[in-house]
Each structure stands twice: as C-alpha cells, then as structure tokens.
Structure 1
Amino acid sequence: MIRRVVAAGAALAAIGAAPPPASRPVARGWQTSGDGSQRLTPVDVAERRTADTVVIAIDPQQRFQTMVGFGAAITDASAILIQGLAPAERAALMRDLFGTGADRLGLGFTRLTIGASDFSPTHYSFDDMPAGARDPSLARFSIAPNRDAMLPTVKQALAINPRLVVMASPWSPPGWMKTGDSMIGGTLRDDAYDPYARYFVRYLKAYAAEGVTMRYVTVQNEPDFSPGDYPGMKWPAVDRARFVGRHLGPALVQARLPTRVLEWDHNWDQPRQPETVLADPAARRYVAGVAWHCYGGDVSAQSRVRAAYPKSDVFFTECSGGGWRPGWNAGFGDTVRNLMIGSTRHWARGVLLWNLALDPKGGPHKGGCGNCRGVVTIDPATGTVTRELEYYALGHLSRFVRPGGVRIASSETGSLATVAFRNPDGGVVLLAYNHSPKALPIEAAIGGVVARHRLPPGAAITIAWPSAAR
C-alpha cells in the first residue's frame, strides 16, 4: 500500500498536479481495560462530545520535574530466569523490555541489589568471611557472584538502551561488618563505617569497569525493617546521616565517582526519617534525593518531604505486585493510580517496580515474599514468557514518556486521575485513569488538536499528541 501511494504521488508530480495537502496532526490513544481484556490496545480518540464530557485541562506552561525513566529491578531471580532462556528468546524479551518503538516497553530505569536480597538463591555479599573472621582491608572483595547472571543481563539491557539509568541498593553489609556477625538482623558496627564506605566504592568501581555506571545508590533497603529470614538490618536515621556525611559521601568524592546518594528507600509512612537525614548539614551535602516504597502510608509523603527540602529529588524505587492484589481490577488500578500517576504527581523523577521477572511460583527466592509477582513471568521449564498486569501499567508511561520529558499540569476530578508530560521533541503525553464505577466521556486538547474518548470504569488510557500539535 505504501509503495502504491508513493508511486501515485510521483505520477501527479510528473504531470504538474499539486501534491495532496499535508495531513493535520492527530492524537492517538491506547487503552487498558479494568478486566485486562484490552491491554495497551489502540482506541479511537476522535469521538463526539456529549453533555457530560469531562474536560481535562493540560497546561504545558506549568512545568514540574524532569523525568529519568520507568522500570523494574533486575534482581538475582530476574537475571537467572532471563539468562536461562534460549539466546534467541532472551534477545527478543530484552528488546521488548528495554527497546523503544514498535510497541516495545521502553524501560529506561532499573535497580540492582548490592549483594543478595530475598530474591537470590543464596545469602551472599561481595566479601564473605568465615564466622568470627573480619576483612577490614577488603582483601577478599569480589563481584564474582554477579558474573553469571546479573552482569550479563544488565549489560545486555544497556546494549539495547545505552541511556538506561542504573541504581543499586544493599539489603545488608557483609555479616562481619554487623553486630551479630550475620547478614540477617543486627546493625552496622561502629568500627565498620569506614570499611563499608570503601565497600561501596569497590562495588561501584568494579561495575564501572564492566561498563555499568551507577547513577544512584541508596545506603540500605528498607532501613526500618529487620527481616528474620533474609538479609536486612535496621539502621536509624541519625546513623545513616553519620555514614553518608562522614564516610560514604567523602569516599565517593575522593574516588571521583559520579554516583549520587538517595536517602530512605522505604515506605511513605515515615517521612520523618528522611527529614532527619536531610536536616543533617553534612549528610545533606551528599544526598541527591529521597527514594520511596509503597507498602505503608500515602504517596503524598513524597510531596511533604520535597516541600521541606525542595532541592532534594524524589524517586519511587519499589513496589511489588503479588497475591495480596489478585486480579486486574485490584492490581492494575492500584498500580496505575498510586504509582504511575500518584508518585509522578508527587514529584517522582523515576518509577521502579520490584522484580522484572519471576517464575510461576514467585521465585526463585530464599526467604521473604512467597507470592510476589514480576513484571513478566518466565516458566523455566518451557521458556514461556507471560506479560503481567504490571507490564501494561508500566507501559502506559514507559512507552511514551522519554528521558528528559517534563511533567506538566493536568486537571483531575474525584473520579478521574491524570498526569501529563511534555517530551523533549515537544510531543505531549496524557495518562488518565477512571476510578469510578461508570464510564466517563473525557476530552483534552493540545494546540487545537482535540482528543475525545469514553473511558470505561477501571480503565486507563494514554493519549499522545505529536510535536506538531504543540
């Protein structure tokens, strides 16, 4: 068909006929229904206006945060499953996840674990020692545990998307650095603050030598939780501030590393913790922002802390799907409304879900969550890949909002949640979610290009306007 159109245009030009007028810019829409029967399905956004149409006001002149990206964590479990695929199937999945265009997911942000998490086959660090032994010089340090699965996976992701932003978080220091001499429980020993800062530097340099530069690190995953069956530790805010201000921050500067520190990496329900760290002048000098999880509290905590410290960036770094949010109606709606829309309206520059991939049993894992769900499910027995509801929730923004895009103002109602962005090329993206029990006719316009659509209950729609419509 395209060849015939081109040929016809050439024939008209040959006889001196005027070429057809350039088509006007149009808006396009993609919808996911609350029951999952539609999944990022192209839909008509040129419907007729009705008396009850909800008009969404978009104001590109009101600009907020600049976006880093959207993505999910490459855990040991995710990397092992991805590397277990046949080479052709692995390459196809990675292109789908990290590639752009042609309906690919376009992930631009990921999180690694510094050592083991609960989604690791063993509880390891990069400097394990026999019980009672210590290694303050880090003579035994090695990232060898990551060479078989984690490193090949993140390097393949970077080969597909060289702009991929990578961050990393530890679940625990090596056991010998902690009270209790174990990666489970305990806290950081006073005499381990300096070795632990050097441990971060060694990790960052080792990954950089492999071509993986970390844009951000957090100093402790969920520092107000001490799990009983997988690595972790409680680490009070005043002690985290001391570590960052007196040890880690100066060590990063001395090593001339570009990595920035994000504070907290835990739930919305304790904003006082990151505020305590940011109130410390020495720590604040090295803290670029605050990272948040979804498992307690309200997303508005992100705005509270940013209002108190407006130079501090906001990131949303973990939320997992799982058996506690079964089915599309609960899981998809919560992910879109609270994370994709809620966290970005409350200043998040990046949004990360938890495991990029898990198996049908929610593993492999050693302790911790037994019914978590990945963005994709990989069956290691068959190689079958299933794209879960989180895949489509992420896709409503990751496919359309480019790195460097800026959040702009968009109006909401009691039944309709929205967020909007302007991409570097001038194109505009709107995500709207209907959390009412009835369909809502909606309308939005950019540069005179109007989009109208009847949005079903529990459904989300992404509407994109090209740069020519600005």
Structure 2
Amino acid sequence: MKNIKALVLIALVAFSSCKEEEKGLTVAWVSSTEDTVWNTKTYNQSVEEIASDVVIDIDTEAQEQEITGFGGCFNELGWDALGMITPEEKQQILNDLFNQETGSKFNLCRMPIGANDYAVDWYSFNETEGDFAMENFSIDRDKKRLIPYIKEAQKINPDVAVWASPWCPPSWMKHSKHYACKANPEFNDLPLELSNTEELVSRFITEPEYFEAYALYFSKFVQAYAKEGIDISAVHVQNEYNSAQNFPSCVWDPKDLGVFIADYLGPKFKADKLDAEIWLGTVERPQIERVEDVLEYKNTKEYVTGVGFQWAGKGAIESVHAEYPEMQLMQTETECGDGSNDWKAAEHTFDLMKHYFKNGANSYMYWNMVLDETGKSQWGWKQNSMISIDSKTKGITYNPEFYLMKHLSAFVAPGSVKLATKGNDDNAIVFYNKVKNEVVILAYNSAEENQEFQFNIKDKKVRTLLEAKSFNTLTVSL
C-alpha cells in the first residue's frame, strides 16, 4: 500500500507543485535517517485525495515559552580531543558547531567551575585550606584548555553566551576534605569511612565563614573570566546537588542552598555589581519539594532567574513550571548514554526534547560536544558525544545526535516561541519565528515504513511523505 501511495504521489507532483505555487506556500526541508544524514529535499505537496497517516494541527496563535538557545558543554577532555587533529579539521568541527550560517548555530553553552567528570583531573581555583579571603584564587588552569576552547567558539560566534556550574567547591570547604562523595578505589582515593551516598545532608561546611568565602569564590570567578574577555551569563549554584559521585560532587540539603543563595551569593553579586544571573541548578531529582525548599527560603526567589534540570530532574519540570511560571527553565545536560553513539541514542534524545519543550523549557543543552573514541571520563564512565575523534586513526565521526541537535538548533532561532499542537503530535515539536513569520517543525517518523504526514497551519496544509525512521525539519514560510 505504501509503495502504491508513493507512486501516486510521484505521478501527481507537477499538479501539486503548481497548486502550492498558487497558494504561495514555501517549505524548506531537511531529513536524516541512520543511513543518509542531512539530506536537503525538494518539497512537493502531496495530494489531498490520499488520507494522511499522521495529522497535526498547528495554531500559530497558541504561543507558549520563548526559546533562548541551544548548545553543549566546554570540557577539558573535549579540547584535548580537538588537539589530536589538524588545525583545519579542528576549525571545521568548531564551525559545524558554532557557525551561524552553516553550522549548528550554538549560542548558549555550559562550562564547569573547577573540575567536573570530564576534566583531566581534579582541581579547583583555590585549594589552599583556610584561605577565606581567596588570596590564592587563580584561573590559570583554565587558560590551558577551557578558555582557549571558549575563545575559539567566540571567534565564530562572538555572541555565544556561557553559563557555569561547579561540580564541587574547593575540597577544604567540605567535611571530608575530598572532591568525591563516593569512594571508588579504582578512580579516587577517598577513604571508605568518609564515603557517604546519603541525600539531603550537606557535605559543604555550612558555617558563615565558609558561605562567605564560597560566595567570594563565585564572584572572583565571574570577574576573572570577564578580564579574559568572557562574560559569564549565569551561574547554576551546584551540579546535581543530590548526587554523591566518585567524581567531583557535593551533596547539599536544599534548605542550605537556599541559605547560601539568599544570604550570601545573591547579596555578594549585588554588592559587586555583577550582571551574571543566579540559577537554581542543576536539578536531577523529580521531587518538587527539593526545589521548593531552596526557592521558598526567605527572599531566594528575588535572586534566582531560572531553574535547570537534567536526568531524573525531568520529572520535576512540569510541576516547577506550574508553580513558578515566572522562572526561566533549562534542560542543562542531555542524558549522555553509555558511549553507544547510535541511532537509538538519538531517538532517546528526541523523546527528551519533546518532554522538556512540552513542559516549558526555554533552552536545551547537549553534554560533550567532542570526545575521543572511548568517550570515557577520567572517572570511568563512557558517554556519548556529538562528534568522536579516534585517537589512533585521527578519524572524525559525526554521531546521530549531532544531526538531531542541528535539526533543531540550526532552524529554531533565539526569540522563537514554542507552539501548541493538536492531533497525532507525539512525534513533532513545533516553533514559530515571529521575525521571519515562519513555522519550524521537527518531526520524527518513528514507524518502520514511510508515512504520510499532514500539518495544518491556518488555511494551509503541508503534506508530505516522511521516510521510515527519519528526523525531519520543515520550515514553512507563512
């Protein structure tokens, strides 16, 4: 039946094309399958005599949240991977990520404050115990990798915004005096007696002089980066504040995070006249009370611009959006899998995109943009990346998730709005670019066979046959 349908559609292409010219409907279309990626197709309207398999109604007046951007994370191991290839190849990869004409158009990216799990090894900006005045604070380590990485991106997109989060404070600010929370003799030297995976118990020393010093640490970080020509757009106060890891991490009681933000960090940023926003993030648990306990402490909400979510935090975003509609929301780290870098991983990421944008997310972050072929962190976890570089052959592979991210980020401009949809809309996310008066549709045909999709936009009908297991971006000029 599908083959017959396709033959009928081909036979009537000329009729359909003329019909659409009369309507003034212009559709740009890019499609990717596992075997053929980023295929620019010529759109020809399918005939209405054949019933569509999937029908989606799009209301350009039903506008939801505004989109602020897309990006990934600047990590040390990513920069080292880029150092394995020729300067020309490195430049091509950076262009493919940041170029605002031909690339993925990334405009909002993350970085760690000190070491994370994709650092070369543990470090903070001040490991001098008891240095509450931060006299030994230094970002010299970042001048070797992270700052050059960001600078190269800035050369391509000078407007790329950078936000930052710590995985761990200076180790002497924790009760254990160690960067990890969970002992693992294979990957860290945390004594077993100091290993503690209990949640809702602060590992940070919650005393005034430590709070004050840590607020100063954040302020000095923002100011030091400004001197390097990198404006930090926002800080998220703690990566995964519920998770005890064998890599840099720090569990907090949410109430203590509220104290830190309202009584120390917020006032410090205000006193130092810093433009960097303060966000609650990154939330990796589904319980909304772990967000409420932070935001409802005193005047915390006056200082917090938004909330960032990742991993199991996706279970909290709907409730947070409903309870705090004024807050900006961000998906801060797409789930990074196990290094498979396959089509199934892209399908999972598409499901995450649908969930986050359905529940109010204004932006979407990938995690590692570039890694070597192992995908391994220094603490043993093999993870996905958008682009892989083979350390032996120097071969470069653009993984399926690179194309999925580009299917979204290259077409959905900052300032666009998410549109509500009706019908068989499980496999589509739709946006409206007010400046260009165009609708951007990201659709996935998850079926094992080609399917006819119909998108109803005002008085227009966009009808076309989408290949089996294909991601498609259709840009419809109205």
Which interval holds the TM-score relative to the shorter structure? Answer: 0.7 to 0.9
**How far off its partner does 1:300 sit?**
5.5
Offset, 1:445: 4.5
- Specify whether residues 205 and 180 from structure 1 end up closer, same or farther in structure 2 by C-alpha distance, changes over 3 A only: same
Contact between 1:358 and 1:374, CA under 8 Å: does it hold in 2?
yes
Q: Is 1:234 matched with 2:251? A: yes
Q: Which position in structure 2 is the counterpart of 1:125?
A: 124
- For residue 204 of structure 1, the aligned residue among 200, 207, 222 is 222
8 Å CA contact 1:345–1:419 kept in 2: the answer is no
* Inter-CA distance 439–304: structure 2 relative to 1 (3 Å threshold): farther
1:245 maps onto 2:262 in alignment: yes
**Match status 1:147 vs 2:130:** no
Q: Give the match for residue 170 of structure 1.
A: 166
Task: Give the paired residue count.
Answer: 434
- The answer to whether the Cα contact below 8 Å between 1:68 and 1:165 also exists between their aligned partners in 2 is no
Structure 2 residue matching 1:78: 3-state secondary structure: helix
Residue 120 of structure 1: how far off its partner (Å): 1.1
Matched, 1:366 2:365: no
Q: 1:164 to 1:424 in 2, by over 3 A?
A: farther
CA distance in 2, matches of 1:166, 1:120: 17
Of 393, 407, 410, which aligns to 1:396?
407
Which residue in the other structure is 1:321 paired with?
336
Asked if structure 2 preserves the Cα contact closer than 8 Å seen for 1:108 and 1:398, the reply is no
Percent identical across equivalent pairs? 27
Query: What are the residue-to-residue correspondences of 1:49-128 with 2, within 5 Å?
Result: 49=48, 50-102=50-102, 104-128=103-127
Q: Provide the residue aligned with 1:9 in structure 2.
A: none
Measured in 2, the distance between the counterparts of 1:326 and 1:410 equals 31
Q: Is 1:309 aligned to 2:329, yes or no?
A: no
Task: After TM superposition, give the deviation of residue 382 of structure 1 in Å.
Answer: 4.2
What is the SS of the residue equivalent to 1:27? strand
CA contact (8 A) 2:342 2:399 kept: no
User: Could you tell which deviates more after superposition, 70-79 or 262-271?
Assistant: 262-271
- Tell me if 1:187 matches 2:203: yes
Alignment partners' CA distance in 2, 1:196 and 1:315: 24
Name stretches of at least 5 consecutive residues in structure 1 with no aligned partner.
Answer: 1-20
What is the alpha-carbon distance in structure 2 between the residues aligned to residue 122 and residue 272 of structure 1? 34
2:11 maps to: none
Unmatched segments (≥5 aa) in structure 2: 1-20, 182-201
What is the match of residue 5 of structure 2? none
Contact 1:446 1:465 in 2 (8 A): no
CA separation of 1:255 and 1:278: change in aligned 2, threshold 3 A? same
Determine if the alignment matches structure 1 residue 219 to structure 2 residue 237.
yes
Q: Look up the SS of the partner of 1:89 in the other structure.
A: helix
2:53 pairs with 1:38: no
CA distance in 2, matches of 1:176, 1:352: 31
3-state SS of 2:210 partner: helix
SS at match of 2:347: helix
Query: Quick check: 1:60–1:422 contact (8 Å CA) kept in 2?
Result: no
Q: Quick one: which amino acid aligns to residue 319 of structure 2?
A: R
Question: Partner of 1:30: helix, strand, or coil?
Answer: strand
Contact (CA 8 Å) 2:318, 2:360: kept in 1 or not?
yes
Q: Is the 8 A contact 2:428 2:441 kept in 1?
A: no
1:170-194 CA-to-partner distances (Å, cap 9, x unmatched) read: 0000011111111122721123111
Q: Deviations over 1:22-58 (max 9, x none)?
A: 994510211222xx11222223432333223433211
Greater shift after overlay, 243-252 or 272-281?
272-281
* Paired AA for residue 72 in structure 2: A
Once the two structures are TM-superposed, the CA of residue 257 in structure 1 deviates from its matched residue by 1.1
- The answer for the alignment partner of 1:157 in structure 2 is 153
Matches within 5 A, 1:374-385: 374-385=385-396
When the two structures are superposed, what TM-score results if normalisation uses the length of structure 1?
A: 0.87
Tell me the SS of whatever aligns to 2:26. coil
Kept in 1: contact 2:69–2:363 (CA 8 A): yes
Q: Which moved more, 1:136-145 or 1:255-264?
A: 255-264
Query: What amino acid is the match of 1:312?
Result: M
| 8 A Cα contact 1:402 1:423, kept in partner | no
Q: 1:325 to 1:378 in 2, by over 3 A?
A: closer
Match of 2:347 among 333, 338, 341: 333
CA distance in 1, matches of 2:356, 2:270: 31
Give the residue type in structure 2 aligned to 1:40. W
CA–CA separation in structure 2 for the residues paired with 1:212 and 1:382: 34
The answer to whether the Cα contact below 8 Å between 1:359 and 1:378 also exists between their aligned partners in 2 is yes
RMSD: 2.2
- The alpha carbon displacement at 1:353 in A equals 1.4
Structure-2 separation of matches of 1:270 and 1:38: 41
Aligned pairs for 1:17-28 (under 5 A) are 24-28=24-28
Answering whether residue 471 of structure 2 is matched by residue 460 of structure 1, we say yes
Cα 1:415/1:263, change in 2 over 3 Å: closer
> For 1:373, what is the secondary structure of its paired residue?
coil
Is this contact kept in 2: 1:344–1:419, CA < 8 A? no
Query: Match for residue 274 of structure 1?
Result: 291
1:141 Cα deviation after fit: 0.5
Matched, 1:344 2:360: no
